[in-house]
Chains A and B, each alone.
Chain A
Amino acid sequence: MAAFLIRRLLHSVFVVLAITLVIFVLVRMTGDPVSIMFQAGEPTKEAITELRKNLGLDEPVYVQFGLYVKDMFTGNFGTSFRTGESVINMMNEKMGATLLLAFGGMFVALLIAIPVGIISAVYRGSVADFFGRIFSLLGISFPNFWLGIMLIIIFAVKLGWFPASGYEGLEYLVLPSVALGLILSGILARLVRSSMLEVMNQQYINTARSKGIKEWLVIIKHGLRNALIPTVTFIGLQFGTLLGGTVIIEQVFSWPGIGRMLIDAISQRDFPVIQGSVIILSFLMIFVNLLVDISYGFIDPRIRQGGGKSE
């Protein structure tokens, strides 16, 4: 396990460096932050040159990159061109809100997908299965931007049950979590359904049934537990998608998270903020994937015993 972890960590460092290089170069190909900063003023060429120098943008890209990576290893991801605030501080401030939303979305997705998936599988071909599949299809098809706005119109404006936007307390989490989770639940429900179908046809399920165990116990204990492995993998992989999804949802619901910060930074070409947040998010993704790998061992002891190798 230790060797596995070390290998994974080294691999992660390499991935982060590669991402840093790509984002560093790409962001510099998209325009000049200094001229954007001057849109509301009267920029002379000298003023533009001076400010570019002050922001360190007059150095060749490889020099800028070298300095950036050097700082990065000491935990310094630069400071925002716009506010002079350190990127780490900005991320710290926003990370809580984004993670809360991502977990809220994941929670809603699981809450819907697991029962829908199980019912669809157990009563395969029934009316419930039909509606389950329709639901999955709808979930996959809704653009989350549209869904968010619909939720606001129905539950905030028409019914007045929840606040439409902002972040003042837990009740503000409901609509954005539902918007985020509902989309994911569609895909997840399909996955739970197909995994359950596969598992329920296995010999050990029939064995369990033949022992006279109650049907619901067979479904939950023997069926669901085994069907969860592909689901957990999927959740891990989807976590990135979920964080990506928060970008739009945060915008619609005025949620003060990283997604909105990133959109603002991109529109203002705030290079350090774009670079820093993408790199830190990629750290997070790698970490989640690592957790997923480790969690396999807990769900399926065969993997733990085999050290990840097939015997």
Chain B
Amino acid sequence: MKKKVGISACSALLVLAAALGGCSSKPADTSTQANPQPKTVAQAPAKNELTLGVNGDPHSWDPIDTFLLDWSTVATSVFEGLVERTTDLKIQPGLAESWEFKDDKTLQFKLRQGVTFHNGEPFNAEAVKFTFDRLLGEEGKKGPQQANYTSIDRVEVVDEFTVNMILKEKDPVFITKLAGYGAVIVPPKYYKEKGDEYFNTHPVGTGPFKMDSYEKDNKVVLVKNENYWKQGQPKLEKVTFRFIPEATTRLAEMQTGAIDIMKKVEISQTESIKGMSDLELMQVGSPTVYSIRFNTSMKPVDNVKVREAIAYAIDADLIIETLLSGYGKRVNSFQSDMSFGYDANLPLRNYDPEKAKQLLAEAGVKEGTELDLFLPGTDATFKEVAQAIEMQLGQVGLKVKLNLVDASTFTSDLIPKGKAGHMYRNGWGGWTLDFDNTAYLMYHKGEFWNPDFHDEKVEELLKAERSTFDQEKRMAAFKELNQRLYELVPDVPLYQTINLWAANKRVKGFQPPADERIDLREVSVE
């Protein structure tokens, strides 16, 4: 208690000192220099140890419960799946060395031998079967991951290192899904012995790092898995992830040298980072795309000409250049250019207000017609984008009313019920990096997030791309689908986001991941 009293007394004095010293020369000196030198940050001392500042704590490490990118940021180092996605998003063997289709519905995996879980338990076919039985059974029902793997009928053990997955239906994105969170392999014996609640906070996998300690909302410490199956990996001895929700605080920690890598740098912070000689600003394209989606059952946007006019009236290039400081990419459809199914040859609708006016006149839309635009109130960047859109549509005679609503209500209630006005912000990640996921959920009749849009041709094409494993045939279907959607304009794709990261230059071999799954195996610290 004495210590606390002392510290608090000291802090009170410091505040007074700061208030008095606010106009003194020290901080002002550095900012008023005629030719300021890039500043340096305090160096973190420990070698081969890395500290990352990330924004969120997933609170549960059980892969079947989670639905958060925050989970994968950390847990990618702890758990592994049969296949894995590299930082350049290619699928490669993980815990399975190879796989082949025995027939249309039987997929056989040959498993890697000599791999052990962090608790010493062997990885084998039984572990794979246990993982999927758990995911697809009663346990899996409590979380959202089960829904991603419903195409699996059952998993059969062939021998100690061979398993067969029997599928209910053709699923061309299946292999990609196996690199997803829910499909990472968990240790059967450990799980059965320790139980669900313990496993939530003390996860065990086969990954390059073991979880050493976890303090909720504070930090998680990982240590090197000495028995990792990949020779020479990982290079780091210890990795600490600190959960710091505020971007300003994360940057402050970066500047004090308390963290080496910062996730989710904000656009407004980029200049500060560029001004620090020890820090590096890193950018990576993300699968997340934003669009303005129409409620195609509402007048006047039920008319395709009106939707097209709005697409021509929005200057997405200007929005990216000014509001996003260039950290965004134009896209021609509601998917990122990393996704299978993206057609780079599809034209963009470029800003053309005259054409917009003409289309509106043809559709009989009167000057001053009022349209609602809904967006989540917490998205400060998109609030500015929406204001720009409000102004740009105003220039072609449409009056836009912005409605800022609570983010969760917006996604979980307004959009599915078709109550998000004439237009709303639509953002989507497309985690399988295949248009299948996005296209199906957004345009297939009766889907949760598609309360109103319906087109027979679109239905046919969606069915076609799902009915074959032949990627060429699928791509052809996607091309046609993109074209059809381009003509129907259910949405105006605005931009693909670019994620910003900062790293201390003493960190070597770090590649910011597009899907937020940090691979630290090749990372080292000088």
Q: Which residues of A come within 8 Å of B, CB atoms?
A: 30-45, 47-48, 50-51, 54-55, 80, 82-85, 93-94, 104, 107-108, 111-112, 149, 151-158, 160-167, 170-171, 173-175, 177-178, 181-182, 251-254, 256-257, 260-261, 263-264, 266-269
A236, chain B: closest CB distance, angstroms: 20
User: In the complex, which of the residues B68, B145, B253, B413 contacts A32, with contact meaning CB atoms closer than 8 Å?
Assistant: B413
Are B412 and A32 touching (Cβ within 8 A)? yes
Are B218 and A36 touching (Cβ within 8 A)? no
Of all A-B residue pairs in the complex, the 8 with the closest CB atoms, nearest first, are A256-B217, A47-B147, A83-B60, A31-B412, A35-B412, A32-B412, A174-B11, A31-B409
Q: Which residue of B lies closest to A109 (CB)?
A: B12
Q: Which residue of A lies closest to B18 (CB)?
A: A154
B46, chain A: closest CB distance, angstroms: 15
Query: Contacts A44-B147, A83-B200 known; A165 to B15 CB distance under 8 Å?
Result: no
Which chain B positions have C-beta within 8 A of A256?
215-218
Q: Is B381 an interface residue (CB 8 A)?
A: no
User: In the complex, which of the residues A42, A45, A108, A160 contacts B148, with contact meaning CB atoms closer than 8 Å?
Assistant: A42
Which chain A positions have C-beta within 8 A of B148?
41-42
Query: Contacts A82-B60, A261-B217 known; A30 to B409 CB distance under 8 Å?
Result: yes
Q: Is B98 an interface residue (CB 8 A)?
A: no
Are A178 and B11 touching (Cβ within 8 A)? yes
A80 CA to B58 CA, complexed, in Å: 13
Query: Contacts A174-B11, A252-B246 known; A47 to B67 CB distance under 8 Å?
Result: no
Query: Contacts A93-B216, A157-B255, A177-B8 known; A40 to B429 CB distance under 8 Å?
Result: yes
Which chain B positions have C-beta within 8 A of A253?
249
A sample of 25 inter-chain contacts (CB < 8 A) reads A31-B406, A32-B413, A35-B412, A38-B448, A43-B147, A47-B146, A47-B147, A47-B150, A51-B143, A54-B141, A82-B65, A83-B65, A84-B196, A85-B59, A152-B248, A163-B258, A164-B258, A167-B218, A170-B7, A174-B10, A254-B249, A256-B216, A260-B217, A261-B217, A263-B245
Are B67 and A171 touching (Cβ within 8 A)? no
Are B11 and A108 touching (Cβ within 8 A)? yes
Q: Is B437 an interface residue (CB 8 A)?
A: yes
Which chain A positions have C-beta within 8 A of B448?
35, 38, 43, 45, 48
Q: Which residue of A lies closest to B146 (CB)?
A: A47
Q: Which residue of A lies closest to B257 (CB)?
A: A160
User: In the complex, which of the residues B11, B196, B253 contacts A164, with contact meaning CB atoms closer than 8 Å?
Assistant: B253
Are B252 and A84 touching (Cβ within 8 A)? no
A152 CA to B18 CA, complexed, in Å: 12
A165 CA to B256 CA, complexed, in Å: 11
Q: Which residue of A lies closest to B243 (CB)?
A: A254
Q: Is B472 an interface residue (CB 8 A)?
A: no
Are A171 and B7 touching (Cβ within 8 A)? yes
Q: Which residue of A lies closest to B14 (CB)?
A: A155
Are B245 and A153 touching (Cβ within 8 A)? no
Are A83 and B69 touching (Cβ within 8 A)? no
Which chain A positions have C-beta within 8 A of B57?
264
Q: Which residue of A lies closest to B378 (CB)?
A: A267
B430, chain A: closest CB distance, angstroms: 10
Which chain B positions have C-beta within 8 A of A161?
14
Q: Is B318 an interface residue (CB 8 A)?
A: no
Q: Which residue of A lies closest to B59 (CB)?
A: A83
A108 CA to B16 CA, complexed, in Å: 12
Are B7 and A173 touching (Cβ within 8 A)? yes
Q: Is B102 an interface residue (CB 8 A)?
A: no
Which chain A positions have C-beta within 8 A of B147?
38, 41-44, 47
Q: Is B37 an interface residue (CB 8 A)?
A: no
Are A178 and B408 touching (Cβ within 8 A)? no
Query: Contacts A31-B413, A38-B67 known; A164 to B249 CB distance under 8 Å?
Result: yes
Are A39 and B67 touching (Cβ within 8 A)? yes
Are B248 and A149 touching (Cβ within 8 A)? yes
Which chain B positions have C-beta within 8 A of A173?
4, 7-8
Q: Is B347 an interface residue (CB 8 A)?
A: no
Which residues of B from 490 to 506 have beta carbons under 8 Å from A? none
Q: Is B470 an interface residue (CB 8 A)?
A: no
Which residues of B from 236 to 259 have beta carbons under 8 Å from A? 242-246, 248-249, 252-253, 255-256, 258
Q: Which residue of B lies closest to A35 (CB)?
A: B412
User: In the complex, which of the residues A42, A107, A170, A264 contacts B59, with contact meaning CB atoms closer than 8 Å?
Assistant: A264
Are B245 and A251 touching (Cβ within 8 A)? yes
Are B12 and A84 touching (Cβ within 8 A)? no
Are A111 and B9 touching (Cβ within 8 A)? yes
- Other than the given A178-B11, A251-B246, 18 more pairs (CB < 8 A) read A30-B406, A31-B409, A39-B411, A42-B441, A43-B448, A51-B141, A51-B143, A82-B59, A82-B60, A84-B65, A84-B196, A154-B27, A158-B26, A162-B11, A165-B252, A165-B253, A177-B8, A266-B408
A33 CA to B3 CA, complexed, in Å: 44
A47 CA to B136 CA, complexed, in Å: 12
Which chain B positions have C-beta within 8 A of A266?
408
A264 CA to B258 CA, complexed, in Å: 24
A25 CA to B239 CA, complexed, in Å: 43
Which chain B positions have C-beta within 8 A of A94?
216-217
Are B11 and A175 touching (Cβ within 8 A)? yes
A175 CA to B413 CA, complexed, in Å: 39
By CB atoms of chain B within 10 A, which of A31, A155, A178, A267 has the most?
A31
A242 CA to B269 CA, complexed, in Å: 31
Which chain A positions have C-beta within 8 A of B134?
none
A135 CA to B213 CA, complexed, in Å: 44
A196 CA to B255 CA, complexed, in Å: 45
User: In the complex, which of the residues B27, B200, B215, B245 contacts A84, with contact meaning CB atoms closer than 8 Å?
Assistant: B200
A154 CA to B14 CA, complexed, in Å: 10
A182 CA to B14 CA, complexed, in Å: 12
Are A267 and B407 touching (Cβ within 8 A)? yes
Are A84 and B248 touching (Cβ within 8 A)? no
A267, chain B: closest CB distance, angstroms: 6
Q: Is B377 an interface residue (CB 8 A)?
A: no
